[in-house]
Amino acid sequence: MAGTFALDPNQGGEVPTENCNAPRAGHMLIFLAAALLSAAMWPPGIARADDPAPADTSSASAETNATPAPESLEEVSGHVEGMNEVLTTMQTDLDKLKRIKISGYLQARWEGSQSDRDTVKAAGSPAVYTTSNARRFYLRRARFKITYDASPWGQMVLTADGGTDRPFRLLDAYGALYDPWTIEHHHQLWFGQFNVPFGNEVERSSQVREMPERSKAEGILFPGERDRGVKLQDQFGTHFETALAVINGGGINSAEFPTTDPSAAKDVVGRARVLFGFLDAGISAYGGKQMTPLTGPEIETDRTRLGGEIQWYYEMPKLGGGSLKAEAYRGHNVNSDSLSALIAAPTSANPVRLLKPGADPGHIATDFNGGYVTWVQNVTERLQVAARYDWWDPNVDVDHDQYHRIGFALNAFYQGQVRVTLAYEIPTTERALAGGGYDDPNDNLMTAQLQFQF
């Protein structure tokens, strides 16, 4: 039998009722719901007409149990203003943090050379150990970079660098002032320690270079790629840019003066480029003086470089983009071979550095030429092949001192942050033999490198 259920006060269970009682039960439920809703919506602190009179208690108890008065509009407004101040402070701090960019990369290598020998030489006091092993794992570069963007007024850059062959050191440290009247800041003034603005390869980061190392000529002419001074960088329109810098000279990896400048005169370097997107070209010039320290009067020689560069970019169907890049240098520079031949190195028995008898100090510096040609081809989005020929002639007036090298590399990219490089390089030099004549020593080099960047 169909019906509704009601609670039995005697048994505590459910008993059926007849359908004729349904209207009465419905009215009861409506009345209970209205009573509950009225009680829930009744304003706090206001007595109802049917409420019993409150008991007489002490004043302390009344103060303790009294319902707090609602806050005034002024108090609520004060709280809101306080929250706004906190949010404004947090937003200011967040804006400052957004101006800071942290990046870096690690290059871990295995290297093997044909010149490998398991020998150790000890010389000097205290003893200095020199190993001939050329098959090893080592850290080539570990770099950490912080950039603070103060746009539209400027930028500050700090880069720390370390590796197996050197402790951590400051690599880049400069501030750049921007012009506020162009959107892309086409005119900038840099102060501090930065890449020398000469050619293309000097300023191109090791993080994106296709071969493990730069060319031989660049490594000799610009040790460390950086120097200290001031640089003015300008772009005129979309196709022409210039850079002019006044620097100490010698570079941060100078064998004799890595941290200071021995002369008041400064070196001047400039570069001009035309940019068309698919074809870029430029010329660079450098002029200054170099000091060679001796126990007696030092030797001052000219330090000059003149260079030309070109980069051609193209797209190959079904493979991807490619490029062909070349640079050539000429100039006058101190020759390490001349230093060895003309200067007597200090010893423990004779701790002085002097010219050898009959040596001409004018032959310390010689005319040089050098350069490179690099071809790069992407093969799909994850593979890249590269080949390079580079040369270095420290003295164009002498034979048998030239350096030539052919190198090949395969780069594999993984998820944008990881790159694996396999390279094989074949240098060619001429070594004088004891019995006369020259030969090319076996010193081909294989490199396997894992680079991780963030």
- What's the pLDDT tens digit per position in 398-426? 999 999 999 999 999 998 899 999 999 99
- Residue 264 has φ and ψ, to the nearest 5°, of -70, -30
- What's the pLDDT tens digit per position in 233-290? 999 999 999 999 999 999 999 888 888 888 889 999 999 999 999 999 999 999 999 9
pLDDT at res. 98 = 87
Q: What torsion do the CA atoms of 294, 300, 302, 303 make, to the nearest 10 degrees?
A: 50
For 103, 204, 431, the CA distances from 131, given in Å and listed in that order, are 35, 32, 21
Half-sphere exposure of 149 (CA within 13 A, CB side): 10
For 180, 234, 271, 309, the CA distances from 282, given in Å and listed in that order, are 27, 14, 7, 5
pLDDT at res. 15 = 36
CATH dotted code for 99-115+127-453: 2.40.160.10
Q: How large is the greatest C-alpha to C-alpha distance in the chain, in angstroms?
A: 136
CA pair distance 420, 210, nearest whole angstrom: 11
**Residues lower than pLDDT 70 in the chain:** 1-71, 121, 123-129
**Residue 317 exposed, middle or buried by CB count within 10 Å (0-12, 13-18, 19+):** exposed
pLDDT at res. 69 = 59
pLDDT at res. 156 = 96
For 98, 380, 382, 409, 451, the CA distances from 412, given in Å and listed in that order, are 32, 10, 6, 10, 10
Domain ranges of the chain: 99-115+127-453
pLDDT at res. 413 = 96
pLDDT at res. 258 = 86
Locate 292 and state its tokens. 């060679």
SS3 453: strand
